[in-house]
């Protein structure tokens, strides 16, 4: 019986919701019921928002961010320091840094990191665009804000080599204890990095 609980329309909605990250089959069913219960307050606006996003969201031709305008809101923002370029792996990383609001700089989204095991080589990443921007665009410092993973660090080294012939300072994010973190729960690599990069108190 389990295969015919509801009509095909609801089953299809559940299947699609279950493909969202963070939702499994069970929570997708819960989400579908929630949507059906709140048809006018949530289901209809969400359908409209998805249709709008489908029609209007584009990749920024400069940095690779996604937005409803090209160049994106971040690239258009004149208050940002044009000498500073933050290189990130994904749009999610760009958004995370923007939420933190640490630096009013511009970004360059690589679209992933080098990962030979997953078949991602330099051709799959937006590296040509990065070299062109750094060479032409008055950039003085490139911050490599890639993940602190093996693949991320491999990518950082590759980008550093690519930019070696250009008169630009290349920096990376600091390693250390996360703010609010407890030493007891941290891995040894992080603790060693935090000790080595210790600063005056």
Q: Contact residues for a second copy (CB under 8 A)?
A: 1-2, 4-10, 12-13, 16-17, 19-23, 27, 29-36, 39, 42-47, 49-54, 56-57, 65-69, 72-74, 77, 90-92, 94-95, 98-101, 104
3-state secondary structure of 48: helix
Nearer to a second copy, 46 or 192 (CB): 46
Cα dihedral across residues 104, 108, 109, 114: positive or negative:
negative
Minimum CB separation from a second copy for residue 89, in Å?
12
Q: Which string of DSSP letters, residue by residue, matches 24-86?
A: -HHHHHHHHHHHHHTIIIIIHHHHHHHHHHHHH-EE-TTT--EESSSS-HHHH-TTSEEEEEE
Nearer to a second copy, 68 or 160 (CB): 68
Minimum CB separation from a second copy for residue 136, in Å?
25
Minimum CB separation from a second copy for residue 36, in Å?
5
Nearer to a second copy, 108 or 163 (CB): 108
3-state secondary structure of 34: helix
Nearer to a second copy, 29 or 133 (CB): 29
Residue tagged 């078949």 (tokens): 119
């Amino acid at each position: 019986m389990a295969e015919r609980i509801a009509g095909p329309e609801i089953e299809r909605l559940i299947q699609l919701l279950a493909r969202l990250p963070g939702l499994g089959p069970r929570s997708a069913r819960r989400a579908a019921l929630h949507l059906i219960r709140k048809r006018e307050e949530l289901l209809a606006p969400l359908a409209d928002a998805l249709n709008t996003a489908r029609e209007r969201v584009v990749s920024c031709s400069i940095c690779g961010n996604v937005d409803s305008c090209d160049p994106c809101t971040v690239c258009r923002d004149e208050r940002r320091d044009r000498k500073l370029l933050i290189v990130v792996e994904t749009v999610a990383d760009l958004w995370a840094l923007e939420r933190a609001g640490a630096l009013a700089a511009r970004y360059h989204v690589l679209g992933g990191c080098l990962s030979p095991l997953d078949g991602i080589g330099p051709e799959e990443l937006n590296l040509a665009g990065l070299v062109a921007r750094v060479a032409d665009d008055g950039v003085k410092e490139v911050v490599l804000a890639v993940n602190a993973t093996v693949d991320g660090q491999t990518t950082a080294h590759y980008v550093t080599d690519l930019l070696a012939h250009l008169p630009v300072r290349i920096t990376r994010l600091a390693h250390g204890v996360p703010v609010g973190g407890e030493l007891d729960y941290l891995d040894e690599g992080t603790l060693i990095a935090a000790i080595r990069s210790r600063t005056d108190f």
